[in-house]
């Protein structure tokens, strides 16, 4: 008998590879490969931004945390629409005045410093490895639940598929597969929630059963208030300044397109999160004794939903993981080739060789997380907290020099470099040795801002050519 789940997944992956192949044929220049020729409309642009945001952290991590500690974690995600508003209202109008191929290229132009660009590239590589680990772990969980194969085997297969189609098609492959993946995510959640609620006589019945099974679910006690606030700060700062998101501002045609695209992203991300919360509550009642909350969503898709719908939901989870990892792999490849190799090692590199190095970087950054997982890194850690650690690193490293660069003329290259190094080091040290009730993004962000201001005031003001392109009157 033909396994319908296997057929759907094989068909899905073949379609992804076909899009990658088409994108390779459509790619005519570096601008096409890195920022889709800067020609995206608001529909594709908004969908790819939402798909990049929606990852295993949403479909597996968020449900896993809600399953473990209750509804209070949901309040953290209120910061996401605020972050996108800030991106459109404050960051985008000036940030896109001069379009670049990478975020570190912006740092070089604004601060007239190759060192700032190189440091930005290194931070991206480090943080990307952390993030991709979470997605690979989730891929192993899904493969185990769906096909019964060992999680490690599933992780390997998942990694190979992701790396291959990202290598082939670049940003064009990423944005068009993101569009497909967002459609699957929306359909999967919209269909799954009503079917799950049928087991509880509607939403009110589900809430009543959750209160009986886990009485503290709707209380604040699951998370300390300070931790919730600092987690919310991590989401806000990271949503504004992570490279895989801001690079999409370069990929869209103009500010009108950006405004519409980001509005679409907010609607999609918020809607999916609300529906995912409901599925998290359903898992509490249906599977009260799971060894880890990260299994909650795969178990609902496998055991509660009809086979076809459940498979679509699992494909949606896989889409969420792939739509984020492919973006990060592309950002990592550009960081290695554009921001580190060409900027630091060989300025006269040919475009062909640069693209070869970028693809080598994509391959390496895709494989290293898998190796570190095999070595035992992040063992037992909930997927959502690995995701937030990535967000904290990116926020501490980039928010201050990026936002400060388009708002403060007096900011200098020394301030930007000190902000990036100080923010990231503080975040890492706090994660290792600090108070676990305060998420590392808060001390990292504070040190980043202080370094930015102090070092800028203690050094010579930048020339007007550094800041003038970003302060033109519109």
pLDDT score, position 1: 41
Closest C-alpha to 45, from 239, 266, 235, 236: 266
Average pLDDT of the segment spanning 51-77:
73
Cα gap 140→321, rounded to integer Å: 11
pLDDT score, position 222: 67
- Is 421's pLDDT higher than 90? yes
Q: State the average pLDDT for the chain.
A: 79
Average pLDDT of the segment spanning 37-49:
77
- At 376-406, the pLDDT tens digits run 665 545 555 666 777 788 888 999 999 999 9
Report pTM.
0.78
Instruction: Name the token pair of 97.
Output: 């005045």
pLDDT band at 221 (very low <50, low <70, confident <90, very high): low
If you search the block for the tokens 């405004």, which residue do you land on?
259
pLDDT greater at residue 393 or residue 418:
418
If you search the block for the tokens 């080091």, which residue do you land on?
425
Cα gap 60→356, rounded to integer Å: 34
Average pLDDT of the segment spanning 425-440:
87
Least confident of 55-69, 212-226, 412-426: 55-69
Average pLDDT of the segment spanning 97-121:
87
What is the crossing angle of helices 103-111 and 114-147, to 10°? Answer: 170
> Residues with Cβ < 8 Å from 413, sequence gap 6 or more?
111, 112, 113, 115, 116, 462
Instruction: Name, of 50-64, 335-349, 405-419, the range with top average pLDDT.
Output: 405-419
pLDDT band at 180 (very low <50, low <70, confident <90, very high): confident
Closest C-alpha to 386, from 57, 83, 64: 57
pLDDT band at 116 (very low <50, low <70, confident <90, very high): very high
Task: Please report, rounded to a whole number, the percentage of residues in the chain having pLDDT higher than 70.
Answer: 81
Least confident of 16-20, 98-102, 398-402: 16-20
Instruction: Name the token pair of 22.
Output: 């088409």
Domains and CATH numbers, the chain: 4-376 (1.20.1730.10)
pLDDT band at 130 (very low <50, low <70, confident <90, very high): confident
- At 186-196, the pLDDT tens digits run 887 888 888 88
- At 311-358, the pLDDT tens digits run 777 776 676 666 666 666 777 777 777 777 776 666 677 767 777 777
Three-class DSSP labels, 208-277: HHHHHHCCCCCCHHHCCHHHHHHHHHHHHHHHHHCHHHHHHHHHECCHHHHHHHHHHHHHHHHHHHHHHH
Q: What DSSP letter does each residue of 329-374 carry, written as one string?
A: HHHHHHIIIIIIIIIII-TT--HHHHHHHHHHHHHHHHHHHHHHHH
Average pLDDT of the segment spanning 236-262:
84
pLDDT score, position 231: 80
Average pLDDT of the segment spanning 246-259:
84
Cα gap 376→407, rounded to integer Å: 43
Instruction: Name, of 90-104, 107-121, 411-425, the range with top average pLDDT.
Output: 411-425
pLDDT score, position 195: 82
- At 272-289, the pLDDT tens digits run 888 888 888 888 888 888
């Amino acid at each position: 008998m033909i396994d319908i789940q296997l057929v759907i997944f094989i068909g899905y992956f073949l379609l992804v590879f076909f899009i990658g192949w088409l994108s390779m044929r459509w790619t005519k220049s570096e601008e096409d490969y890195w920022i889709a020729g800067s020609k995206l409309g608001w529909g594709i642009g908004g969908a790819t931004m939402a798909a990049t945001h929606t990852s295993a952290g949403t479909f597996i991590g968020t449900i896993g945390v809600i399953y473990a500690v209750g509804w209070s974690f949901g309040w953290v995600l209120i910061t996401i629409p605020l972050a996108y508003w800030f991106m459109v209202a404050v960051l985008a109008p000036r940030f896109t005045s001069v379009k670049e191929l990478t975020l570190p290229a912006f740092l070089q132009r604004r601060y007239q410093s190759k060192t700032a660009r190189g440091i930005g590239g290194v931070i991206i590589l480090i943080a990307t490895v952390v993030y991709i680990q979470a997605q690979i772990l989730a891929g192993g969980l899904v493969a185990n639940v769906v096909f019964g194969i060992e999680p490690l085997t599933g992780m390997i297969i998942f990694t190979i598929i992701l790396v291959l189609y990202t290598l082939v098609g670049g940003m064009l492959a990423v944005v068009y597969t993101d569009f497909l993946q967002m459609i699957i995510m929306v359909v999967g959640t919209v269909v799954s929630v009503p079917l799950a609620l049928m087991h509880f006589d509607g939403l009110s019945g589900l809430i009543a059963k959750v209160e009986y099974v886990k009485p503290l679910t709707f209380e604040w006690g699951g998370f300390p208030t300070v931790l919730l606030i600092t987690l919310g700060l991590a989401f806000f700062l990271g949503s504004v300044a992570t490279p895989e998101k801001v690079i999409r501002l370069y990929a869209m045609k103009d500010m009108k397109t950006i405004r519409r695209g980001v509005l679409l992203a907010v609607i999609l991300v918020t809607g999916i999160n609300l529906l995912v919360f409901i599925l998290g509550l359903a898992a509490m009642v249906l599977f009260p004794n799971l060894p880890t909350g990260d299994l909650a969503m795969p178990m609902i898709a496998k055991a509660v939903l009809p086979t076809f719908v459940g498979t679509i939901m699992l494909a949606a989870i896989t889409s969420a993981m792939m739509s984020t990892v492919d973006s990060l792999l592309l950002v990592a490849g550009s960081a290695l080739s554009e921001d580190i190799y060409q900027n630091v090692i060989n300025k006269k590199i040919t475009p062909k060789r640069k693209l070869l190095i970028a693809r080598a970087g994509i391959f390496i950054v895709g494989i290293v997380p898998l190796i570190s997982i095999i070595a035992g890194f992040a063992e037992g850690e909930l997927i959502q907290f690995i995701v937030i650690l990535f967000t904290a690193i990116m926020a501490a490293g980039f928010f201050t020099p990026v936002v400060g660069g388009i708002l403060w003329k007096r900011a200098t290259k020394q301030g930007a470099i000190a902000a990036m190094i100080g923010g990231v080091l503080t975040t890492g040290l706090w994660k290792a040795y600090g108070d676990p009730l305060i998420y590392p993004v808060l001390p990292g962000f504070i040190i980043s801002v202080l370094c930015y201001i102090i070092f800028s005031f203690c050094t010579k003001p930048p020339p007007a050519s550094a800041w003038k392109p970003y302060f033109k009157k519109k």
